[in-house]
A = this chain, B = another copy of it.
Amino acid sequence: MKEETWKTAITKVEPNKLLLRGYQIDELMGNITFAQAVFLVIKGELPDEKEARMIDAMLVSSVDHGVTPPSCLSARTIASAGAPLSAALAGGILAISRHHGGAIEDSMRVLHEAVKRKKEMNKSEEEMASIMIREYKMRNKRLPGFGHRIHTKDPRTLKLFQIAFDLGIAGEYVKMGKALETAIEKGSGKPLPINVDGAIAALLCEMNFPPELANAFFILARIPGLVAHVYEEQTRMKPMRHINSKDHEYDGHPERKI
């Protein structure tokens, strides 16, 4: 049976030479940040200075969110049973799914649809947002990327948008996100602000990433947090303990400034 040679465009490996998307890896090392390398390997091109800073802020925003997310609880549960770090991390990642992180992809699709229809129908952001909110209401569906079970004014969202505006990255998708936020409040009388998933979704749209890769950024960003939780579980807790996701207490470093 004839073997088929298959093609790959990511990394060229030769003895003593590694080209990552065309760049010698040893030229990249020391010259670009990890966030820039993430952008390069996934997208195929280096980010400009603004995109690099935006990606860094996005990844930092999602590094950890305490012990209650399912990814943290499954990673800790697996670690508590005595499994190695890689197994616990794999189990954590498997929980990053439709209801946990998944809103980023859903929200990107909503923003893409809204911006596309706005252009086709020659509407303003406000008009298009009202139309979509009415449609979601009629189908009795919740718009992904709005509202948070804990935060009403999520500091991560505010800062992400501020950075995006300062860098000049905020464009039609951020505008549409804001218009949807306003339309939701008008429609229901209650605010339901864009959450961190929605904000990241808008920024990934601005930087032209496909929705299929939304999860990739969240998973990558959360790995260090999961590592910290697994290590804390392994070094500080008894094995096979009952892990109650509600009855915990923070006893780490008190609030401080950089």
Asked if A204 is at the interface (CB within 8 A of a chain B CB), the reply is: no
Which parts of A54-110 form the interface with B (CB within 8 Å)? 55-57, 59-61, 63-68, 70-71, 73-74, 77-78, 80-91, 93-100, 102
CA distance A64 to B226 in the complex (A): 21
Asked if A225 is at the interface (CB within 8 A of a chain B CB), the reply is: yes
Chain B nearest CB from A191 CB (Å) reads 13
* A258 contacts B31, C-beta separation under 8 Å: yes
A41 and B63 contact, Cβ closer than 8 Å, known pairs A81-B99, A83-B95, A232-B8: yes
CA distance A252 to B10 in the complex (A): 6
Kindly list chain B residues whose C-beta atoms are within 8 Å of the C-beta of A239: 98-99
Chain B nearest CB from A116 CB (Å) reads 21
Chain B nearest CB from A31 CB (Å) reads 6
Asked if A244 is at the interface (CB within 8 A of a chain B CB), the reply is: yes
Interface 1/0s, chain A 97-135, versus B by CB < 8 A? 111101000000000000000000000000000000000
Interface residues of A (CB under 8 A from B): 1, 3-13, 15-35, 37-38, 41-42, 44, 46, 53, 55-57, 59-61, 63-68, 70-71, 73-74, 77-78, 80-91, 93-100, 102, 149-156, 158-160, 162-163, 212-213, 215-216, 219-221, 223-225, 227-229, 231-232, 234, 236-237, 239-258
5 of the cross-chain contacts (CB-CB < 8 Å) are A13-B150, A16-B151, A21-B253, A27-B257, A88-B94
